[in-house]
Structure 1
Amino acid sequence: MKYTVSIEIALPRERVVQLLADPAHMPKWLRGLVLHEPLSGVHGQVGTESRVVMQMGKQRMECTETITRREPADLRGIPKGHAVHFDREIVGEGMWSAVRETLTEGGPQKTLWVSESEYRFSGLMMRLVGRLMPGAFRKQSQQHMQDFKAFAEEGKDVREAKG
């Protein structure tokens, strides 16, 4: 299963990249995040493996995330017109995913964030989930982007949201 979601954020690309790259901000916008800890490497750097635990309702999911691409490697002073790329692979029980994030300038005070996701499932239960609920994965990705936009632009924290 593959899909692409995108969102425009009313902030300069450099600021959006800073906020996305800072692990201290993740719980503020990544709805359901319980834990995100590097097992090896440095957060956000290519090759870093992290343990990620997410809670969605009564469902708890644990997986391993590996950063596969970060361009440019140094996020300070990114030349105008250059895209920023963050790619990662996520492996959990019965699931493999690759996510490719691209951030481009949408104007002097705007950033376009495009996220391409690919999922593969194994095991009967996970294959059924993938077939019966493909829209749920896309919807969750879009929700994470909307939550980040609200955090970045307005300082909203998903942990303070009702419902």
Structure 2
Amino acid sequence: MKYTIKITLAMPRNEVIAKFDNENNLEHWQKGLVSQEHISGTKGEVGAVTKLRYAMGKQQLEMIETITFKNLPEAIHLTFDTKNVYNIQQNYFEATTAETTTWISKNEFKFSGFMKFVGFLMSKAFKKQTILFMKNFKAFAEEGKSVLDN
């Protein structure tokens, strides 16, 4: 399953990147994030591996994030691996004007085992979650406060 989502932020690209590339900001825009644990590699650089834990309703989800490419402010690519789901995410940041930035997120999901069936049935839910995270980041970046306090 592949899809691309775009969102425009009303702020310069360097400010978007400063907020996006700060691991301490994840808790302000990724609802359900419980913890993050650096596993290996140099934090924030290509090859860095982080364990992310989420609580989504009564479900607990643990995934491994790996930075596979980083050329900021233009792009950062990541993979997310959890049981039977592998997500390849390519993020691009375009300076649309001096005061606006377009974030383009290209996602590819690969499913195995039972998730092949579930992933097919719930494809809209994966896309909806990506849109929610991107909208939350936009609100956090533009307003400078956690959007999850409400």
Aligned residue in 1 for 2:131: 142
Q: Where does structure 1 lack aligned partners over 5 or more consecutive residues?
A: 76-83
- The whole-number CA distance in structure 2 between the counterparts of 1:129 and 1:158 is 30
- The whole-number CA distance in structure 1 between the counterparts of 2:118 and 2:60 is 15
- The whole-number CA distance in structure 2 between the counterparts of 1:141 and 1:122 is 20
CA shift, 1:109, in A, is: 0.5
Deviations 1:90-110 (A, max 9, x none): 111111110000001010110
Q: Which amino acid aligns with 1:56?
A: M
Asked whether the equivalents of residues 139 and 147 of structure 2 are also in contact (C-alpha less than 8 Å), the reply is no
Aligned residue in 2 for 1:63: 63
Asked whether the equivalents of residues 28 and 146 of structure 2 are also in contact (C-alpha less than 8 Å), the reply is yes
Q: Which amino acid aligns with 1:25?
A: N
1:129 aligns with 2:114: no
- The whole-number CA distance in structure 1 between the counterparts of 2:35 and 2:143 is 24
Q: Which amino acid aligns with 1:137?
A: F
- Report the 3-state secondary structure (helix = DSSP H, G, I; strand = E; otherwise coil) of the residue aligned with 2:17: helix
Aligned residue in 1 for 2:54: 54
Asked whether the equivalents of residues 34 and 54 of structure 1 are also in contact (C-alpha less than 8 Å), the reply is yes
- Identical-pair percentage: 37
- Stretch moving more, 109-118 or 48-57: 48-57
- The whole-number CA distance in structure 2 between the counterparts of 1:114 and 1:15 is 16
Map 1:100-115 onto structure 2 (within 5 A): 100-115=90-105
- The whole-number CA distance in structure 2 between the counterparts of 1:19 and 1:42 is 19
Q: Which amino acid aligns with 1:118?
A: E
Cα RMSD for the two superposed structures: 1.2
Match of 1:157 among 143, 146, 149: 146
CA shift, 1:63, in A, is: 1.2
Asked whether the equivalents of residues 87 and 100 of structure 1 are also in contact (C-alpha less than 8 Å), the reply is yes
Q: Which amino acid aligns with 1:64?
A: I
CA shift, 1:156, in A, is: 3.8
Asked whether the equivalents of residues 36 and 53 of structure 2 are also in contact (C-alpha less than 8 Å), the reply is yes
CA shift, 1:59, in A, is: 1.5
